[in-house]
Structure 1
């Protein structure tokens, strides 16, 4: 193992030497030709043509070499970004405790795979708990903040019996991250995170805590409406959380219904005429499955924005595919909770 580790730096050093050596050799050849070759000292047309050809070949070689080096660095950067993406925003399982799940992110940075948006859905003994957030800014600059919030969420959802406890843990994690970054960089990090916490009980009962984030849309047949119209709390970071913090009850997610969580980049996207993207209208005919909803929304969004959105966009769709009990009715009628046995299996796979 130590031999392998020692060999890696040697390979990297050899590659750097070759990278610097080839341009040096080409430059030395050009200078040597100009100073020592008799043909290069002549002023005739033929001699000038040959000299120009030599320097053109050397220049072309240098350009090709630099281009290949830049492409190699770009490939390595994309590999690193992809690895970070897989750790930060892990592919969600296709199903979480009877809920079909699909999620995707679109970064505003061309060629980037990481943006400032974050999401996660986890099955716990307290219910399926979901987070959707948006870090101020986008691209690689926001990855540290998103990682701090997501890491705290993945641990807190299993430990805290109430959503309020989860949110307080996330608030402390964000404050600690910003404080450590300020101490390390010597600058005050003025950063905040809009955040939506959602808990879906086994009976479909919904509880939420919203810190400055857009409310998700509820899809029930042809009905598309916001889950709540209550004003959210301020984003995490600039202001302390209120002392009296309790989850807002938002009704039930019935079998067959879906929730579409999104970041503000979806509804804030504009076309060439400055018109906002009509997310709610697109959702009216977005399809039955979460995957179809994602495809329909992202296709319409890219068409609306001309293929270049100005902000990161993340979507997370959850559909209640638990069995409908005989005593349950449509939305707005009397119904009882589902009684299917609780599943503790966290399926692995990509929900997109």
Structure 2
């Protein structure tokens, strides 16, 4: 008995409720046609019922409505002339309803098959993204961290946004970047750079030496065998930071990537680099000398790292997301609370759908460093 009552309490699915619209249309057309004068024929309007059903129903719903329309057309023809089975006009209309219904059922079957394939592709792409970019730990040494990867809604085109963190003897090193292009190729390129970063970031080398190593890794890892003349066709913008555990200035090398922001009491400040470097992967062409910039990051401040999917997000009028303007006055000190508000505000600006992947990382330095 409880199982039967549980089944009776199941909510009605929206598409099932909407089936009342074409069925009511069939009934209304049949009744009006039966009551109308003999010279007025409304039965051709029955084709509208199966035509609108694919808007909210699947192939079974379309087939049911089409069958009801055929039955209604048959009944109308028989009532119009009881002595004759069906006129040639009624037969033509029945054949037309059968053809339209069959075509719509085939369309719905193909549409559902396409939707399942797309859902599977999205699942695989998201799984690949999670393998390449696992969330950052909530705590990294004395730092409290909140990270988020927002995938674009355009089909299953995942991008090459990347981030990673590594501990050293005196602090934490982070990288945030964006690979040129999209799709699985960009994910593969991001994985190559992240692998190089995780191998080298722990070593007791300077930040400039680390970025030089990453640039060489990108140049050689992204180059196909025998394509030594194609340098520069693939590159990765990135910002690499070294945050000391104790109070001290954060060291930074920005390689063509949007600069980070530091929020102090709700006032954001852009940490522009005085010595900008070219994107990773162009070192063989430019031979850069990496200069380290620095900026203060005190306990209680929030450090915001992001990719251009944030600053280049557009609203319905084409206006870019004004990052500094929007976050001015935000007093959330907890990284998770700040990131949640940041996400909601960004999605509200674009109307709920991003055109490009976006990475957002919020970092807070604890007042008392932990062992």
Check whether TM > 0.5: yes
Q: Does the Cα contact within 8 Å between 2:215 and 2:283 map onto a contact in 1?
A: no
Structure 2: gaps spanning 5 or more residues: 1-86
Q: Does the Cα contact within 8 Å between 1:282 and 1:297 map onto a contact in 2?
A: no
Larger relative contact order (Cα-Cα within 8 Å, sequence gap ≥ 6): 1
2:190 aligned residue: 146
For the residues of structure 1 that align with 2:120 and 2:230, how far apart are their CA atoms?
30
Further displaced range: 155-164 or 253-262:
155-164
2:334 aligned residue: 289
Q: Does the Cα contact within 8 Å between 2:145 and 2:362 map onto a contact in 1?
A: yes
State whether structure 2 residue 359 is matched by structure 1 residue 314.
Answer: yes
Partner SS, residue 158 of structure 1: coil
1:123 aligned residue: 167
State whether structure 2 residue 345 is matched by structure 1 residue 300.
Answer: yes
Partner SS, residue 175 of structure 2: strand
Further displaced range: 159-168 or 144-153:
159-168
- Superposed CA RMSD in Å reads 3.1
Q: Does the Cα contact within 8 Å between 1:106 and 1:115 map onto a contact in 2?
A: no
TM, length-normalised to structure 1: 0.69
Which residue, 68, 74, 78 being the options, matches 2:122? 78
Q: Does the Cα contact within 8 Å between 2:150 and 2:359 map onto a contact in 1?
A: yes
For the residues of structure 1 that align with 2:318 and 2:310, how far apart are their CA atoms?
14
Which residue, 59, 77, 80 being the options, matches 2:103? 59
State whether structure 2 residue 199 is matched by structure 1 residue 175.
Answer: no
Question: How many residue pairs get matched?
Answer: 282
1:248 aligned residue: 293
Cα deviation, residue 219, structure 1: 1.5
State whether structure 2 residue 137 is matched by structure 1 residue 90.
Answer: no
1:236-269 per-residue CA deviation (whole Å, 9 max, x = no partner) reads 2234465643533333x22222210112332333
1:273–1:172 distance in 2 versus 1, CA, 3 Å = same
State whether structure 2 residue 271 is matched by structure 1 residue 227.
Answer: yes
2:64 aligned residue: none
1:316–1:112 distance in 2 versus 1, CA, 3 Å = farther
Q: Does the Cα contact within 8 Å between 1:108 and 1:139 map onto a contact in 2?
A: no
1:12 aligned residue: none
Further displaced range: 276-285 or 142-151:
276-285
1:244–1:233 distance in 2 versus 1, CA, 3 Å = closer
For the residues of structure 2 that align with 1:181 and 1:112, how far apart are their CA atoms?
29
Partner SS, residue 159 of structure 1: coil
Cα deviation, residue 142, structure 1: 2.0
Cα deviation, residue 170, structure 1: 1.6
- Deviant stretches of 4+, over 6 Å: 186-189
1:197–1:309 distance in 2 versus 1, CA, 3 Å = same
Partner SS, residue 233 of structure 1: coil
1:278–1:114 distance in 2 versus 1, CA, 3 Å = same
Cα deviation, residue 211, structure 1: 0.8
Cα deviation, residue 284, structure 1: 2.5
Q: Does the Cα contact within 8 Å between 1:114 and 1:140 map onto a contact in 2?
A: yes
For the residues of structure 1 that align with 2:102 and 2:206, how far apart are their CA atoms?
69
For the residues of structure 2 that align with 1:198 and 1:113, how far apart are their CA atoms?
29
For the residues of structure 1 that align with 2:254 and 2:115, how far apart are their CA atoms?
43
1:79-102 per-residue CA deviation (whole Å, 9 max, x = no partner) reads 211210111111111111121111
Q: Does the Cα contact within 8 Å between 2:174 and 2:242 map onto a contact in 1?
A: yes
TM, length-normalised to structure 2: 0.66
Cα deviation, residue 216, structure 1: 0.7
1:13-60 per-residue CA deviation (whole Å, 9 max, x = no partner) reads xxxxxxxxxxxxxxxxxxxxxxxxxxxxxx955655565555455434
For the residues of structure 2 that align with 1:187 and 1:210, how far apart are their CA atoms?
24
Structure 1: gaps spanning 5 or more residues: 1-42, 324-337, 342-352
